[in-house]
Amino acid sequence: MPDDRPIGMFDSGVGGLTVARAVIDLLPNERILYVGDNGRFPYGPRPLEEIRAFALEIAAFLVSREVKMLVVACNSIEVAAIEDVARAHGVPVVGVIDPGARAAVRATRNHQIGLIGTQATVDSGAYDRAVARLGADVRLVSRACPAFVDFVERGDTSSEELRTIATGYLEPLRTEGVDTLILGCTHYPMLSGLIQVVMGDDVVLVSSAEETAKDVYSALVSADLLRTNPSEPRHEFLTTGDPEQFRAVAHHFLGPKVGGIRAVDVGSVRGVETARLARGSTWI
């Protein structure tokens, strides 16, 4: 049955917008309800238990807003909580790790794959398990790049300071001879210009965003949940942080058609029963 409800999507901040972008490209008729937990960003250095608690709050909030599926647009949330999120709610749940691993295994020619992500993601070994599940004969070399996300949240993709940090993080992976690099944090595709320069043109960068969008497509088709309403879909982007800052970065990466951006307070996300938008917040 055609379904007009939005797709719920969430991340610790603006990173999941890379996934939103890919979903909008592939499914231009779908509505997106996005929550960026910028008020509690970053997630990467936090204990998994804490990330899990935040994730369950946001998922419950999105379900209370009647989303038809959940897209965990954040690797760190996926490693901490995707099974719990799926168990808690009767809607399809799509993550980013399997799609990214799949694309990397397809892309590598020398069977040496690099992975960069947050500390939580790298420490979890989730990509090692995802690659193993594919039965692929590859070596995975992982490296946490915790500082990257702060630059992305500030909209900085090219400063001298960032370039120096990127070289420090990525040189060792180059030396390892990887021919494919998984951007295992949804913030990182926004730095792909810089990462490509440091890694060199012969290294394939894998962003899970496009692959995840294909999984979203196929989940909606197989559950018969596609939106067929011919009216222009209205997206909604909520942030627990500063909406002005979110808007600046979102417009930068998603273009002027972002749609409504609003503040939602963490208390509202937490107290789903009394979910309400932050008083005084305005559409911008």
> Given the rule CB under 6 A, which residues bind ligand DGL?
11-13, 15, 41-44, 74-76, 118, 121, 149, 185-187
How far apart are CB 14 and ligand DGL at their closest, in Å? 8
Structure tokens at 74: 């954040």
* Beta strands per DSSP E along 105-224: 112-117, 139-144, 180-184, 204-207
Choose between 49 and 273: whose C-beta lies nearer to ligand DGL.
Answer: 49
Report, as residue numbers or ranges, the catalytic residues.
74, 185
Choose between 121 and 240: whose C-beta lies nearer to ligand DGL.
Answer: 121
Cβ-proximal residues to 115 (8 Å cutoff; 6+ apart), any chain: 122, 127, 140, 141, 142, 143, 181, 182, 184
How far apart are CB 187 and ligand DGL at their closest, in Å? 5
Choose between 76 and 239: whose C-beta lies nearer to ligand DGL.
Answer: 76
* Residues forming a β-bridge with 143: 116
**Of 48, 55, 54, 80, whose CA–CA distance to 70 is shortest?**
55
User: In this structure, what are the phi and psi dihedrals at residue 94, rounded to the nearest 5 degrees?
Assistant: -120, 135
Choose between 39 and 233: whose C-beta lies nearer to ligand DGL.
Answer: 39
How far apart are CB 109 and ligand DGL at their closest, in Å? 26
How far apart are CB 45 and ligand DGL at their closest, in Å? 7
* Residues forming a β-bridge with 36: 11, 239
Residue closest to ligand DGL, measured at CB: 44
In whole angstroms, give the CA distance from residue 170 to residue 173: 5
